[in-house]
């Protein structure tokens, strides 16, 4: 049987796609909602912010009782600052070095026995080891101070995000443990705008496209946003796919949890889907 091969030809598959021309329902939400916890257990000593306050990354929010940690840090600092053992071992090493050198010259003149010289040599080596040990312990004391200082700093819990305090879940005097939620913070800069589009419009929205978001009343107004994510997995039940936009909100002017309408400023022509016909016998 003779096989015949057809020359491969590109075939344009026409898929009906609908450009987004009308405003679409959307929801404005925080980019993250953080349930603030604690690294350590202890009594909540002080709340530094209240519900509704704006917070910045690194801002102190909560302090736990830290009397014991303060004392431990101070004790570690005193040990780290003290170099008495190092200086003492250095003096001892210098003395043993001079003694070893003196006996070495006497040994060359055969004025000292080999056993006395060997004893001096051993004591000099031990003095050097003692000096190295003292230096090591001093360095360990410095690291111990840094560790206790870090533990003390962690008794003050700081904000991991820029945002708003949505809720305060605990009060001063309550016991905090690893599973406790101290407060809830909504990160509102940037805001996320979530919208679901029909699969027939897939390919008309690209990352980086500009859009206009119109929040519901009483907020109102128009705000520029940019497409950040276009889902690559469809929802088969509703035949939709998700799109996320980012909306800059540096002054916290817009709250999260708003319904809105979004209008994409420009639709693009979908890229053609091409295929090659299979080989035929």
Q: What is the DSSP string of 143-172?
A: HHHHHHHHHHHTTEEE-SSSEEEEEE---T
Q: How far apart are the C-alpha atoms of 62 and 59, rounded to whole Å?
A: 10
Kindly tell me if the per-residue pLDDT of 50 is higher than 70: yes
pLDDT tens readout for residues 69-107: 899 999 999 999 988 888 898 898 888 888 878 888 777
Q: Where are the beta strands (DSSP E) in 49-200?
A: 54-55, 60-64, 156-158, 163-168, 175-176, 183-198
Predicted pLDDT at 112 = 75
pLDDT tens readout for residues 198-255: 998 888 889 999 999 999 999 889 999 999 999 999 999 999 999 999 999 988 888 8
For 198, other C-beta atoms within 10 Å of its C-beta total 15
In sequence order, the β-bridge partners of residue 32 are: 187
pLDDT tens readout for residues 158-213: 999 999 999 999 999 999 998 999 999 999 989 999 999 999 888 888 999 999 99
Quick one: DSSP state of residue 265? S
169 Cβ contact partners less than 8 Å away, ≥ 6 residues apart: 180, 181, 182, 183, 184
């Amino acid at each position: 049987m003779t096989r015949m091969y057809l020359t491969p030809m590109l075939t344009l598959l026409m898929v009906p796609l609908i450009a987004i021309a009308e405003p679409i329902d959307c929801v404005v939400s925080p980019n993250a909602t953080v349930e603030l916890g604690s690294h350590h257990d202890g009594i909540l000593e002080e709340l530094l912010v209240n519900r509704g306050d704006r917070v910045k990354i690194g801002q102190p929010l909560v302090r736990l009782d830290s009397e014991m940690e303060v004392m431990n840090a101070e004790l570690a600092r005193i040990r780290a600052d003290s170099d008495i053992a190092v200086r003492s071992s250095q003096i001892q090493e210098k003395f043993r070095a001079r003694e070893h050198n003196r006996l070495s010259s006497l040994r060359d003149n055969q004025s000292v026995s080999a056993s006395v010289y060997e004893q001096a040599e051993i004591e000099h080596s031990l003095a050097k080891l003692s000096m190295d040990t003292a230096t090591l312990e001093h360095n360990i004391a410095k690291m111990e101070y840094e560790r206790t200082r870090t533990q003390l700093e962690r008794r003050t819990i700081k904000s991991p995000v820029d945002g708003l305090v949505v809720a305060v879940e605990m009060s001063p005097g309550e016991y905090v443990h690893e599973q406790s939620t101290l407060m809830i913070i909504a990160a509102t800069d940037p805001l996320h705008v979530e919208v679901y589009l029909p699969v027939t419009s897939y390919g008309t929205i690209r990352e980086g496209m500009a859009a206009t978001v119109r929040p519901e009343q009483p907020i109102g107004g128009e705000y520029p946003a940019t497409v950040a994510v276009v889902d690559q997995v469809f929802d088969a039940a509703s035949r939709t796919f998700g799109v996320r936009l980012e909306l800059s909100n540096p002054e916290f002017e817009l709250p999260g949890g708003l319904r809105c309408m979004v209008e994409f400023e420009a639709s693009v022509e979908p890229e053609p889907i091409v295929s090659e016909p299979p080989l035929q016998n």
